[in-house]
Chain A
Amino acid sequence: MRWMWIDKVVAYEPNRRLVAVKGVSLSEEHLHAHFAAEGALPACPVMPNSLILEGMAQTAGILVGSVHGFREKVVLAKVASAVIERDVNPGETIRYDATIERMDESGASTVGTIERFSFVDNAWAPVGRIEMMFSHLDQNRAGTEFPEENFVFGENFRTLLSGLGAIAPGAKSPH
Chain B
Amino acid sequence: MESTMAKSREEIEADVRDVLVDALGVDEDDVVPTATLKGDLGAESIDYLDIVFRLEKKFSTPEKPFKIAQGELFPENLMTDPSLVEGGKVTAKGIALLKERVPHVELGSFEQDPQVTKLSGLFTVKSLCDFVQRKLG
User: Hey, which bits of chain A sit against chain B, CB under 8 A?
Assistant: 77-78, 80-81, 101-102, 104-107, 109, 133, 135, 140-143
Q: What B residues does A101 contact at CB under 8 A? A: 53, 57
Q: Is B47 among interface residues, defined by CB-CB distance under 8 A?
A: yes
Instruction: Render B77-92 as a binary contact track against A, CB cut-off 8 A, 1 for contact.
Output: 0011000000000000
Question: Complex: how many Å from CA A77 to CA B44?
Answer: 10
Q: Do the beta carbons of A109 and B50 come within 8 Å of each other?
A: yes
Q: Do the beta carbons of A133 and B49 come within 8 Å of each other?
A: yes
User: Hey, which bits of chain B sit against chain A, CB under 8 A?
Assistant: 22-23, 45-50, 52-53, 56-57, 70, 74, 76, 79-80
Q: Do the beta carbons of A142 and B45 come within 8 Å of each other?
A: yes
Dominant SS among interface residues on chain A: strand
Dominant SS among interface residues on chain B: helix
| Known pairs A101-B57, A135-B49 / 9 extra A-B pairs, C-beta < 8 Å | A78-B47, A102-B57, A104-B49, A105-B70, A107-B49, A109-B50, A133-B46, A141-B76, A142-B45
Question: Complex: how many Å from CA A133 to CA B47?
Answer: 9
Nearest chain A residue, comparing its CB with the CB of B46: A77
Q: Do the beta carbons of B79 and A143 come within 8 Å of each other?
A: yes
Q: Which of B46, B53, B74, B76 contacts A102 (CB 8 A)?
A: B53
Q: Do the beta carbons of A143 and B49 come within 8 Å of each other?
A: no
Q: Do the beta carbons of B79 and A78 come within 8 Å of each other?
A: no
Q: Do the beta carbons of A106 and B79 come within 8 Å of each other?
A: no
Give the Cβ gap from A165 to chain B, nearest Cβ, in Å.
Answer: 31
Q: Do the beta carbons of A107 and B80 come within 8 Å of each other?
A: no
Q: What are 23 residue pairs bridging A and B, where the CB atoms are less than 8 Å apart in the complex? A: A77-B49, A78-B46, A78-B47, A80-B22, A80-B23, A80-B50, A81-B22, A101-B53, A101-B57, A102-B53, A102-B56, A104-B49, A104-B70, A105-B70, A107-B46, A107-B49, A109-B49, A133-B49, A135-B49, A141-B48, A141-B49, A141-B74, A141-B76
Q: Do the beta carbons of A143 and B80 come within 8 Å of each other?
A: yes
Q: What A residues does B70 contact at CB under 8 A? A: 104-106
Q: What B residues does A78 contact at CB under 8 A? A: 46-47, 50
Question: Complex: how many Å from CA A109 to CA B79?
Answer: 24
Which of B52, B53, B74 has most chain A Cβ within 10 Å? Answer: B53
Given contacts A101-B53, A101-B57, A102-B53, contact A135 B79 (CB under 8 A): no
Question: Complex: how many Å from CA A105 to CA B80?
Answer: 17
Q: What A residues does B22 contact at CB under 8 A? A: 80-81
Q: Which of B49, B56, B57 contacts A106 (CB 8 A)?
A: B49
Question: Complex: how many Å from CA A77 to CA B43?
Answer: 13
Nearest chain A residue, comparing its CB with the CB of B53: A102
Q: What B residues does A81 contact at CB under 8 A? A: 22
Q: What A residues does B79 contact at CB under 8 A? A: 142-143
Q: What A residues does B50 contact at CB under 8 A? A: 78, 80, 109, 133
Give the Cβ gap from A4 to chain B, nearest Cβ, in Å.
Answer: 25
